[in-house]
Amino acid sequence: MPPVEQPEGPMETAAAAPKEATAQSASTAAAPAGPTLSDYEALKRENAALRSELTRLQEGTKRKHKVVKTTLGSKMSHHVVSHQGKISRRHMRGTASSMASAEILAGLFTPRETVPERLLERLDDPSSHVAYFRGKQFALDLMSLCEQGQELFEKESRCLHIQSPCHVFGDIHGNLDDLHFFGENVWSKGIRLTPGRLLFLGDYVDRGMFSLECVAYLLAMKVLAPAKVFLLRGNHELRDVNSWEDYYGEGSFLTQCKDRFGAERGAYLWEVVNQLFDRLPLAAVIDHDIFCIHGGIPRPRPGLGQIESIQRVPVAAAVSPPYPCEDPDLTRVAYECLWSDPAKAADEAHMDARGYGANPRGSTAQCFGRAAVEDFLAEHDMSYIIRAHEKTAEGITVSKGGRVLTVFSTSKDHHLGDGAMSACLLVDDARIEVITKVSAAAGAERCC
């Protein structure tokens, strides 16, 4: 049972079993054309065939057209025409080789939109591509991105090390409008031409109605620029949470998958995306100085530093519910990274000797108090903790003597009123700046 979100979480109804919830709303599907397992397998087979054809052509080119290289001083040159302007027989062969290679390469690399490029272009204006986003091709594109993203995340450490400048984003929760706002103001030239890095702290799905689009948007950016875009896991990237249809209603990620693609196909896509979520890293450290995580610092394990514990969490971990093979201690570490909150001032007195205590969200969630924060930062020689997970109408809150910053990057779907703002942080060397989206209700949007 996941802990409840505050304050609207009805704790007594929190025990909805994900499988039952799946069955209950299966009938809501309009069953438009959607992908099937066999479509996906066929796509994979086609990709494998294309890859092997590419390898065969490249090897054939290498065998037939050996490039002649001559050493001139310390520089290597490719010779096609002699320096007298004559083309020797050998060089003629070189010219023919170059022309043949150019033809083959032109055939192979005819400018063709890649999946992430196609998605990002359409996500710029989804209302002009309604048929695409409701159709089989979107589902296939998203599954293709999941496959590519999975490979990237499996190579990443569970606690990333990132160099500034870096923009840090909190909960997105299916709010494509605010994601567009940040896109227009932070990576307006496209991710590949944007200097610095982007770090997202999780909670991409649920609550907002565009969970699928937000996941697709972020994954497309990750695949296009894997060394610039980093995605951490939030508590909504857990099956127990993103299948909770009774609680989140039409905002539930599982419900959105099924409404879009039909009960069976939607549930299949939901599982593919969750297998990707299983592989998301849990934490990041910017400039060896700022610890970033979705919820908070986990309780220490005896004889092991907290970051070292996080590093030991397996690369594929379901966490909630866990895979049967998962080590309960490491599952607990991951769970607390995703669910913990800083203790309210009034609750500091109830923290244990190390500064940790029960969380009013219920279940097994924890709070971390001032002592826990100070010990963690001193032990790891760091200055701040940036986390997300708690809604705030200002987009940012500061606690624990200025050491803990909470950032929230969606202004909708949290009952915070029309004046709610969303924010991100820019960490640049030793400075942290706040960028805020001011709601239309509070005046014109501005970036400060």
d(C-alpha 414, C-alpha 194), whole Å: 31
Q: Which residue, 144 or 252, has its beta carbon nearer to Mn ion?
A: 252
Distances (CA, A) of 331 to 18, 100, 191, 335: 19, 56, 34, 6
- 49-88 footprint of Mn ion as x/- string (CB under 5 A): ----------------------------------------
**Length, in residues, of the chain:** 448
Prior bond of 165 cis (ω within 30°): yes
* Number of shown-chain residues binding Mn ion (CB under 5 A): 4
Residue 66: exposed, middle, or buried by beta-carbon count in 10 A (0-12, 13-18, 19+)? exposed
Q: Which residue, 178 or 203, has its beta carbon nearer to Mn ion?
A: 203
Quote the least distance from Cβ 173 to Mn ion, whole Å: 9
- DSSP-assigned letter for residue 301: B
d(C-alpha 341, C-alpha 367), whole Å: 5
173, 236, 389, 414: which is the annotated catalytic residue? 236
235 counts as binding Mn ion under rule CB under 5 A: yes
Q: Which residue, 190 or 249, has its beta carbon nearer to Mn ion?
A: 249
Q: Which residue, 361 or 437, has its beta carbon nearer to Mn ion?
A: 361
Q: Which residue, 123 or 214, has its beta carbon nearer to Mn ion?
A: 214
Quote the least distance from Cβ 202 to Mn ion, whole Å: 7
Q: Which residue, 18 or 266, has its beta carbon nearer to Mn ion?
A: 18
- Figure out which of the listed residues 389, 391, 414, 437 binds Mn ion, where binding follows CB under 5 A: 389
Q: Which residue is nearest to Mn ion (CB)?
A: 389
Tokens 């640049």: give the residue.
428
Interacting stretch for Mn ion, rule CB under 5 A, among 97-105, 350-358, 363-371, 382-390?
382-390
H or E stretch including 220?
helix 211-224
Prior bond of 300 cis (ω within 30°): no
Q: Which residue, 235 or 411, has its beta carbon nearer to Mn ion?
A: 235
Give the number of other Cβ atoms within 10 Å of residue 154's Cβ.
11
Positions in 172-231 near Mn ion (CB under 5 A): 203
Tokens 């109605």: give the residue.
209
Give the number of other Cβ atoms within 10 Å of residue 429's Cβ.
10
CA-wise closest residue to 316 among 370, 291, 280, 346: 280
- 269-308 footprint of Mn ion as x/- string (CB under 5 A): ----------------------------------------
Tokens 């875009």: give the residue.
229
Instruction: Give 286's contacts (C-beta < 8 A, 6+ positions apart).
Output: 162, 163, 164, 166, 168, 199, 292, 427
Q: Which residue, 160 or 338, has its beta carbon nearer to Mn ion?
A: 338
Helix boundaries (H) for 305-401? 306-312, 328-339, 370-379
Reply yes or no on whether 236 is catalytic: yes
Quote the least distance from Cβ 234 to Mn ion, whole Å: 5
Look at strands 283-286 and 159-162 and give their pairing.
Answer: parallel
Q: CA 408, 413, 417: angle at the middle one, nearest 5? A: 85
Q: CA 232, 236, 239: angle at the middle one, nearest 5? A: 110
Q: Which residues are catalytic?
A: 236
State the residues that interact with Mn ion by CB under 5 A: 203, 234-235, 389
